[in-house]
């Protein structure tokens, strides 16, 4: 075991919300969490926007809800009072346009304040919010708007001209386009509305209509790492999970300044970039700019960020930039670091300790689960490389699928199986848009079967092995690419690694690694031999890669996940499949 567990102090500057993990695992977790919400006045139900915004509009009227950092240095502050008024205006705008309960409102924009206001205003109006990542090209936009039968689209003037005008004819359901002028200024584009003009004319009082917990609230498209993205349908009740996971897994306290770096185009950027912090009444930072190590360190310092939620891909990029850069700043407010989206290599956890004096807490969930399901909690020891233990209220198991459609439970510690969750938590998705059969296939013997393989140790910590589709079968052994990638990352020359199974007539598959190098290292036969040797020492001959190829970059989704299926397609000369979520340079 090259990484010792990280045991945290028992005397805390701020006591964690979850001090006793075992005691918190009671059968009535969700029941109590529901009671902890306010609900709409006069028993009219449960609405995400009420819990995130209006609930706080009196008590926290002047408390900072959102601080927006513009790409070019602008700063805009929104208190809970401001947000309540602005989101009411937006709900009135929708109502005025005849957009009502259940109608889908898509938002295609970068991280601008209007996106956050539109999202929450849409939920107030009981319409369905669907975020679209702003870097999508016209085709993925068209597919998603069509699948969702979007009735309204909020976007910016330039995105509209570049990406939407050309597909308008193929969107018969789309009735209204609301444009935010570039630099938030006025617009005058034929066939569209000026967002700000409508907002100015709208009333800032709005009464949220009756909302059932099961009313549809949000449609999120998955990252498309393994294939065509799916539209996961979420309901208002999800806010029960957003609030509680924010409290217990991210340890949000009222005075926190929270920064979730994810874009709302992906589920993390909505569940934790919008709803969870607001539902907990904290201050949330939104940075319009993309990753830049130096800028991020500055934001952490200057904004006094106390809780930070980011992703392995960003952590790896910070590691590549080196720990010296981190030390040019001071982070006295920083208290809790968390990561999600991909397995967090042990080296990443340790980097947190070296750079910030705090380890990263990995947690695991999916678009489908709506909220954090398995996590490293503040008061529990961290085992670097493990994604932690099930969230209180979540029953997680490992299973093997049987041919008859059932599952067998994998009980033995250390044995690998597919992560399965017992349905019934509030933020669970309710279907895949337009694909009810695909949804039905996710359930077996009363379990939601996730498609991810893991091991569980004797203390109940889960260790990610790989996605079902990425796992490598070599000479009768099952190998998860994550383990191999993590070992490669321990070598000082390696910046990133993507590992696949390459078909082989004898072994079935052999392990092949694609590797990018840190600044100052050049590909060479010697380095290749060195990396092969390093892997064999670390992993043993069976698991270590047989082949290493140096690459300029590793293909990733826009949300930062390594797309191993593309590495494999390139290796085999096969078609790439759906690449709508592949990260590439913006072509202007
Ligand atoms: P698609 O389903 O379209 O292929 P996706 O699964 O990448 O895309 P998301 O729902 O955004 O779409 O990502 C969830 C997946 O990300 C999980 O199923 C898991 O494979 C991976 N993941 C998320 N967090 C972790 C983590 N902490 N450790 C390991 N894997 C993680
Ligand atoms: Mg998935």
DSSP codes, 496-533: EEEEEEEEETTTEEEEEEEEEE-TT----HHHHHHHHH
Q: Please, which residues have CB less than 5 A from ligand 2, an ion? A: 222
* Three-state secondary structure call for residue 288: coil
- What pLDDT digit, counting tens, does each position of 48-86 carry? 999 999 999 999 999 999 999 999 999 999 999 999 999
Judge if the beta carbon of residue 555 lies within 6 A of ligand 1: no
Residue 588 has pLDDT above 50, yes or no: no
Please give the Cα distance from 403 to 401 (Å, whole number): 7
Tokens standing for 558? 């826009």
Pocket test for ligand 1, best of 366, 435, 451 (most atoms within 8 A of CB): 366
Closest ligand 1 atom, residue 232 Cα: 10
Judge if the beta carbon of residue 343 lies within 6 A of ligand 1: yes
Cβ atoms of 63 and 80 closer than 8 Å: yes
Phi-psi region of 9 (alpha: psi -120 to 50; beta: other; left: phi over 0): beta
Tokens standing for 38? 């306010």
Please give the Cα distance from 310 to 165 (Å, whole number): 34
Cβ atoms of 364 and 388 closer than 8 Å: yes
Judge if the beta carbon of residue 341 lies within 6 A of ligand 1: yes
| Residue 227's pLDDT band (cuts 50, 70, 90) | confident
Judge if the beta carbon of residue 231 lies within 6 A of ligand 1: no
Average pLDDT over residues 4-27: 90
Judge if the beta carbon of residue 256 lies within 6 A of ligand 1: no
Three-class HEC string of 358-382? CCEEEEECCCCCCCCCEECCCCCCE
Closest ligand 1 atom, residue 374 Cα: 27
| Residue 166's pLDDT band (cuts 50, 70, 90) | very high
Please give the Cα distance from 107 to 116 (Å, whole number): 10
Judge if the beta carbon of residue 282 lies within 6 A of ligand 1: no
Judge if the beta carbon of residue 362 lies within 6 A of ligand 1: yes
Residue 540 has pLDDT above 70, yes or no: yes
Closest ligand 1 atom, residue 221 Cα: 3
* Three-state secondary structure call for residue 40: coil
Please give the Cα distance from 447 to 461 (Å, whole number): 20
Residue 243 CA to ligand 1 centre (angstroms): 21
Please give the Cα distance from 393 to 36 (Å, whole number): 15
In the chain, % helix, strand, coil (3-state, to 5) comes to 30, 25, 45
Q: 113-124 and 80-96 are packed helices; what angle lies between their axes, rounded to 10 degrees?
A: 60
Average pLDDT over residues 359-369: 97
- What pLDDT digit, counting tens, does each position of 258-306 carry? 999 999 999 999 999 999 999 999 999 999 999 999 999 999 999 999 9
The 10 Å Cβ neighbour count of residue 38 is 12
Measure CA of the first residue to CA of the last residue in the chain; give whole Å: 49
Judge if the beta carbon of residue 481 lies within 6 A of ligand 1: no
Cα separations in angstroms, 85 against 61, 79, 88, 95, 204? 11, 10, 5, 15, 5
Please report which ligand is nearest the Cα atom of 229: 1
Q: What is the pLDDT of residue 185?
A: 86
| Residue 585's pLDDT band (cuts 50, 70, 90) | very low
Residue 47 has pLDDT above 60, yes or no: yes
Residue 232 CA to ligand 1 centre (angstroms): 13
| Residue 322's pLDDT band (cuts 50, 70, 90) | confident
pTM: 0.94
N residues, the chain: 588
Residue 245 CA to ligand 2 centre (angstroms): 20
Residue 213 has pLDDT above 50, yes or no: yes
Residue 578 has pLDDT above 90, yes or no: no
Least confident of 222-226, 248-252, 408-412, 472-476: 222-226
Spatial CA neighbour of 397 closest among 415, 370, 382 = 415
Please give the Cα distance from 457 to 475 (Å, whole number): 25
Cβ atoms of 72 and 279 closer than 8 Å: no
Residue 1 has pLDDT above 70, yes or no: no
Q: Which residue has the tokens 């913006």?
A: 586
Q: What is the pLDDT of residue 475?
A: 84
Residue 586 has pLDDT above 70, yes or no: no
Using CA positions, which residue lies closest to atom 3 of ligand 1?
Answer: 224
- What pLDDT digit, counting tens, does each position of 474-491 carry? 888 889 999 999 999 999
Judge if the beta carbon of residue 480 lies within 6 A of ligand 1: no
Closest ligand 1 atom, residue 367 Cα: 10
Q: Which residues contact 202 (CB under 8 A, 6 or more apart)?
A: 89, 90, 92, 93, 96
Q: What angle do CA 302, 303, 305 make, to 5 degrees?
A: 115
- What pLDDT digit, counting tens, does each position of 437-458 carry? 999 999 999 999 999 999 999 9
| Mean pLDDT (the chain, rounded) | 95
| Residue 2's pLDDT band (cuts 50, 70, 90) | low
Using CA positions, which residue lies closest to atom 17 of ligand 1?
Answer: 366
For the chain, percent of residues with pLDDT exceeding 90: 88
Q: What angle do CA 446, 247, 267 make, to 5 degrees?
A: 60
């Amino acid at each position: 075991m090259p990484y010792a567990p990280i045991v945290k102090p028992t005397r805390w500057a701020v006591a964690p919300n979850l001090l006793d993990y075992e005691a918190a695992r009671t059968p009535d977790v969700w029941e109590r969490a529901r009671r902890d919400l306010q609900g709409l006045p006069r028993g009219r139900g449960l609405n995400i926007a009420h819990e995130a915004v209006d609930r706080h509009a009196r008590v926290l009227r002047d408390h900072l809800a959102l601080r927006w950092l513009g790409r070019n240095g602008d700063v805009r502050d929104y208190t809970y009072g401001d947000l309540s008024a602005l989101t009411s205006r937006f709900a009135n705008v929708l109502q005025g346009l005849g957009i009502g309960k259940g109608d889908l409102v898509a938002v295609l924009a970068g991280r601008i304040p209007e996106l956050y206001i539109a999202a929450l205003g849409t939920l107030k109006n009981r319409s369905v919010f669907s975020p679209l990542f702003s870097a999508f090209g016209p085709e993925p936009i068209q597919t998603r708007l069509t699948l969702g039968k979007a009735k309204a689209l909020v976007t910016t003037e330039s995105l509209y001209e570049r990406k939407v005008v050309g597909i308008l004819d193929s969107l018969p359901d789309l009735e209204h386009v609301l444009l935010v002028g570039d630099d938030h200024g006025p617009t005058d584009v034929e066939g569209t509305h000026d967002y700000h003009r409508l907002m100015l004319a709208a009333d800032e009082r709005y009464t949220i209509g009756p909302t059932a917990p099961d009313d549809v609230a949000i449609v999120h498209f998955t990252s498309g790492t393994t294939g065509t993205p799916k539209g996961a349908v979420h309901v208002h009740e999800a806010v029960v999970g957003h609030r509680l996971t924010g409290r217990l897994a991210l340890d949000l306290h009222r005075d926190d300044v929270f920064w979730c770096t994810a874009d709302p185009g992906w589920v993390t950027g909505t569940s934790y970039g919008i709803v969870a912090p607001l539902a907990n009444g904290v201050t949330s930072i939104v940075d319009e700019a993309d990753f830049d190590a130096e800028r991020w360190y500055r934001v952490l310092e200057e904004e006094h960020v106390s809780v930070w939620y980011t992703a392995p891909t960003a952590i790896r990029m910070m590691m590549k930039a080196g720990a010296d850069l981190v030390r040019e700043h001071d982070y006295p407010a920083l208290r809790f670091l968390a990561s999600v989206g991909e397995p967090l290599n042990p080296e990443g956890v340790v980097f947190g300790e070296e750079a910030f004096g705090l380890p990263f807490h990995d947690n695991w969930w999916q678009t489908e689960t709506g909220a954090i399901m398995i996590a490293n909690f503040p008061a529990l020891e961290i085992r670097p490389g493990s994604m932690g233990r099930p969230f209180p209220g979540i029953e997680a198991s490992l299973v093997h699928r049987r041919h008859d459609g059932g599952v067998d439970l994998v009980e033995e510690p250390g044995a690998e199986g597919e992560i399965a969750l017992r349905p019934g938590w509030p933020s669970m998705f309710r279907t895949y848009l337009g694909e009810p059969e695909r949804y039905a296939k996710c359930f077996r013997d009363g379990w939601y079967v996730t498609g991810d393989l893991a091991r569980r140790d004797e203390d109940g910590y889960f260790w990610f092995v790989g996605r079902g589709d990425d796992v490598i079968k070599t000479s009768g052994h099952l190998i998860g690419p994550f383990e191999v990638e993590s070992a490669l990352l321990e070598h000082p020359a390696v910046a990133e690694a993507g590992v696949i199974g390459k078909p082989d007539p004898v072994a079935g598959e052999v392990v092949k690694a694609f590797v990018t190098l840190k600044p100052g290292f050049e590909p060479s036969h010697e380095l290749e031999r060195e990396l092969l040797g390093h892997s064999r020492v670390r992993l043993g001959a069976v698991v270590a890669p047989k082949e290493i190829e140096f690459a300029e970059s590793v293909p990733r989704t826009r949300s930062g996940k390594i797309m191993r299926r593309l590495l494999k397609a390139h290796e085999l000369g096969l078609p790439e499949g759906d690449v709508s979520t592949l990260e590439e340079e913006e072509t202007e």
